[in-house]
Amino acid sequence: MQNRYNPGDVAIVHPYASLRDVESFLRLLGWEDEADDAFEIEHSMFGMLSVSIFQLPLTPFLDQSLPDHLPQVTTLRTLFTRFLDINAVPRRSFFQYLRYLTSDDLEREKLDEFLSLDGAVGNISLTLASDTP
């Protein structure tokens, strides 16, 4: 049987991270023992992203939704291997989110500096990806 494609058909490719990169990442974060424990991901429109092991306030990011292909129950190893790009250049919104989450004044100050146009331009060793595709 031959595959048939029509104009406008869409192919979706979901790349995998290398096992070596994922193992290194899990080790770096100290999550080797929890890497294969199942947890549930749940999106709440009430301003929380709940991952059963922690909760993140999403108040400034309520328009963010979870991808349809993301499983509701998964493991850290699967999440970092199949769904999250641990090698991607972080977008500006990632650092804005970190700034929102930190309670440390020095970290917040450094993130403010980095997020400012002068700070981002001055730090040539770090590159931010645009938040627009």
Domain boundaries along the sequence of the chain: 14-88, 89-133
Q: Which two tokens stand for residue 100?
A: 């929102």
pLDDT at 131 over 60: no
Return left, alpha or beta for 8; rule: phi > 0 is left, psi -120 to 50 is alpha, else beta.
left
Neighbours of 76 (CB within 10 A): 22
pTM of this prediction? 0.60
- CA distances for 120 relative to 56, 101, 107, 110, angstroms: 26, 20, 15, 11
Tens-place pLDDT, residues 53-79: 444 444 444 555 677 778 889 999 999
Give φ, ψ of 38 to 5 degrees.
Answer: -75, 145
pLDDT (0 to 100) of residue 54:
47
Who has greater pLDDT, 112 or 36?
36
Tens-place pLDDT, residues 75-99: 999 999 998 889 888 877 788 888 8
DSSP character string of the chain: ------TT----------HHHHHHHHHHHT-TTTTT--EE-EEETTTEEE-SS-EEE-GGGTT----TTS-SEE-HHHIIIII--TTSPPBHHHHHHHHHH---HHHHHHHHHHHSHHHHHH-TT--PBPS--
